[in-house]
Amino acid sequence: MKKRIFLWRFLTVVFVLSVLLTSCVRKPKKPVGEDTTTTDIEETGPRFDANGYLMDDLPEKVNLDREFNIYSWQDQKHWDWYDEEVYPTNLVDIVLYKRQSNIQDRFGITLNRVYQPGTWDNRNAFITTLANSVKFNDGLYDLVSQYTPCAGIGATQNLYADMNSMEYLDFSKPWWPSKLLSTAQIGERLYFASGDITPTLIRNVHCMFVNTGYYEQYQLADLVGGRSIYDVVRDYDWTLETLKLLALDHVADDGAEMFGLSFVNKVQADAFFFGGGFKLLENNNGILTISPELAKQPISDWFDQVQKLFAESRYDVTIKSDAVFRNKQSIFHSGTISASQNFAQDGVQFSVLPIPMRNSEQESYYTCASFWVGMYSIPADAKNFSESAMILEALASEGYRTVTDEIYYTLFQIRYNSTDNVNSAEMFDVVSDSIVFDTARSFTDHLQSMFAAFRNGVTDEAASWSSVYGSGYPAWNPRVISLFAILG
């Protein structure tokens, strides 16, 4: 097995301040012992802020002297922007207000938002409003923040500029997910992106939860050589077989009261598809194609294994709401990180975990986010592409230092976590770094049901992967070819 390194981040706990000295992909800091009260390490090297977090490479001070308009879906207003009509008092609004103020002062702009409903039922109306601006080259908006499927619709209508071709945007920086370019590009072009620019990505990542109290009560460590669940993850032994070993056949035969494993709904099967290391679409030599791995035996075997969890009638597995785990009725649970708040409020002792791997030889843990994530694009009729790119990079960079640091670490890792904060914080980092953006999910309208094929199959006891893939490929392939013809 290849040597792999995880980012382990240790947080302030009670009176102890510990600083992590390992290679930090997401939040690189200065080495310990160096002065962190200045913004520069050296004039020609990378710059860090007073807290030791990496700064961007944008101009330090610019006066654009104009209004900057962002077309945004109002359904996630609370998590993307603060309510300007109310003085910010809660943590989320305070840090979002701080981000906006810093950006406005630094670049001499006024950030304006134009809101419209933009979730699944309203996605076409949302895009139509944008299309009317682009069609007549009105230049009404400098940036767009949207529901994930909206981004795909807008891209197929040629409403967005290619962000890979723009100055100022640096997708190698830690405020952009490490797998963004490898999983979201169409050929060599990128039409939308997400990352530290929005807390919606944090909230809506699919993950696993473990009731740490039950892990101890049922002495599950004995089944994995006396290891904690954290060490199981660190050792890359957190596989589907390990989940089954720990979750199944350890509770009384009474599904109405207690389960070994629960799922919030069938959508969680999407995360298990990616958790197995598979993709629906891939960029092969710059050309978008259906992943050749979908026609091979490993995906068929993985399908069968996951299907046994989702489709079999078992007394120790249930597909129900978060209430099962919230009511302390299951040992393990699969949902989104946003559920952490409710679990903590109800006194559940828990930790987040990544989605299990297919086997321990896998390169990494993988997961996906739900559609309720803000995807950012630059409209094709934006007044000034360079300025739009500059502000987009600045919002992500500022969010990385100002918003994520508070919401992700303070709100979720500590406040919404009722167990060992140090170990659980590590698990949050693992989940965060495992996010992939499969093109088939973003372009669900163009590719129709392709993204849901695995989900629909594993939740049908009569289905097999050969039947799912065999019936789907003839319809999927021409649509993938046409998508690349439009955007590649």
pLDDT for the residue 81 = 77
pLDDT for the residue 44 = 53
For 43-58, write each residue's pLDDT tens digit. 456 888 888 889 999 9
pLDDT for the residue 30 = 33
Q: What integer is the mean pLDDT of 469-478?
A: 95
Name, in order, each residue with C-beta under 8 angstroms of 93's C-beta and a sequence gap of 6 or more. Answer: 82, 83, 86
Lowest mean pLDDT among 56-70, 81-95, 197-211: 81-95
- The enclosing H or E element of 132 equals helix 123-135
Identify the top-confidence range among 43-57, 176-190, 313-327, 388-402. Answer: 388-402
pTM for the model stands at 0.86
Does the 66-202+371-418 domain belong in CATH 3.90.440.10?
no
Cite the residue boundaries of each domain of the chain with CATH code 3.40.190.10: 66-202+371-418, 206-365+449-460
Lowest mean pLDDT among 16-25, 59-68, 119-128, 373-382: 16-25
Place 418 in a pLDDT band, splitting at 50, 70 and 90. low
Look over the chain and give the mean of its residue pLDDT values, rounded to a whole number.
Answer: 86
Q: What integer is the mean pLDDT of 21-33?
A: 34
pLDDT for the residue 420 = 73
Place 160 in a pLDDT band, splitting at 50, 70 and 90. very high
Asked if 487 and 189 count as a contact pair (C-beta separation under 8 A), the reply is yes
Topology of 206-365+449-460 in CATH?
Answer: D-Maltodextrin-Binding Protein; domain 2 (3.40.190)
Q: What integer is the mean pLDDT of 265-284?
A: 94
Lowest mean pLDDT among 122-126, 245-249, 250-254, 255-259: 250-254
Q: What integer is the mean pLDDT of 374-392?
A: 97
Token pair recorded at residue 336: 């989104």
Token pair recorded at residue 418: 């009722």
Q: Helices then strands (H, E): number in the chain?
A: 20, 11
- Is residue 32's pLDDT more than 50? no
Strand pairing category for 143-146 and 375-377: antiparallel
pLDDT for the residue 257 = 79
Cα four-point dihedral sign 192, 196, 200, 201: positive
pLDDT for the residue 421 = 75
- The enclosing H or E element of 260 equals strand 259-263
Alpha helix stretches (DSSP H) within 338-464? 340-345, 385-398, 404, 421-433, 439-442, 444-447, 453-458
17 vs 396: CA distance, rounded Å? 27
pLDDT for the residue 253 = 57
Cα four-point dihedral sign 428, 432, 434, 435: positive
Q: What integer is the mean pLDDT of 142-147?
A: 96
Strand pairing category for 375-377 and 281-284: unpaired
Place 283 in a pLDDT band, splitting at 50, 70 and 90. confident
Of 267, 261, 275, the C-alpha closest to 308 is 261
Asked if 286 and 188 count as a contact pair (C-beta separation under 8 A), the reply is yes
- Is residue 327's pLDDT more than 70? yes
Asked if 162 and 189 count as a contact pair (C-beta separation under 8 A), the reply is yes
